[in-house]
Structure 1
Amino acid sequence: MSKLTHIDGDGAAHMVDVGGKADTVREAHAEGRIAMKLELLEAIKANAMKKGDVLATARIAGIMAAKKTSDLIPLCHPLALTKVAVDFTFLEDGIKVSSMARLTGKTGVEMEALTACSVALLTIYDMSKAMQKDMVISDIRLLSKNGGKSGDWTVE
């Protein structure tokens, strides 16, 4: 088994020192989905929700969440992100959220992409729950990461 990176010799959690690592362009992509009834999906598509523009609000929430990842996930480094994108695809039974985070720095942005996706999905739920409480958020996953010492990775 390889040495744990976030646990010191005494078993205490600590933030990894990335100071000696080279700056590289790093990018990560994530996705997730929310399933809902057709009536709700059509209302979101038509921008006819009482709380306002669901997708515009979810996009802003996802971008803001990516920027706050280090406040939410223990031991994550605060990062100077250069780009965060959140996009939506309508499915037959819901919405797919796709997110991307990018920077030039010493550590990866996987958690930022996953956080952006997760919070965008939660925002869709929050703005839509008056019409349907049993929506299902699922399949949140990392799709790819590029850059850094460990190299590139893409889901199979």
Structure 2
Amino acid sequence: MRKKFLLISTILVISASAALVACGKKSPSSPESSVSSDKTTQEETSKGQTVATTETKTEGTTEAVKKDDIATKQDEKAKPKEASGTFEGWADSSSVEIKMSDGEYQTFFVEKEEVKKALNEKGEGASISFTYGALEGQVNKQILSVK
């Protein structure tokens, strides 16, 4: 009886482990699986300063994110900035893509329910004016209000 219990318990543990491992894998077609590597390097600027950068290879492209681009607590407390652009749509449940007035596309976080509601009411393709600010630990900014 004890041997059967141990055998069944072992099979259950192995099955549960296999299921958890399988849940953690991303399919090759999922956007999350496209990140292949991150590499942090030191670069020297024209002024002789050394700046740390992180390169993220995604689907054959390389983006360099400088540590100076990541917002600090002081950046978060700074006065919000005003901007305008075209609301291109939701990137996911908490971020949007905006085509800025200069033609550049930027992704912004949206946390406030009233901002989410205002963007949904405006609809994709609408011209919007908005205020945004830094969010500590993030490169992307956060939309604080929509006009």
TM-score bracket, shorter-length normalisation: under 0.3
TM-score under structure 1 normalisation? 0.21
Structure with greater strand share of residues: 2
TM-score calculated relative to the size of structure 2: 0.21
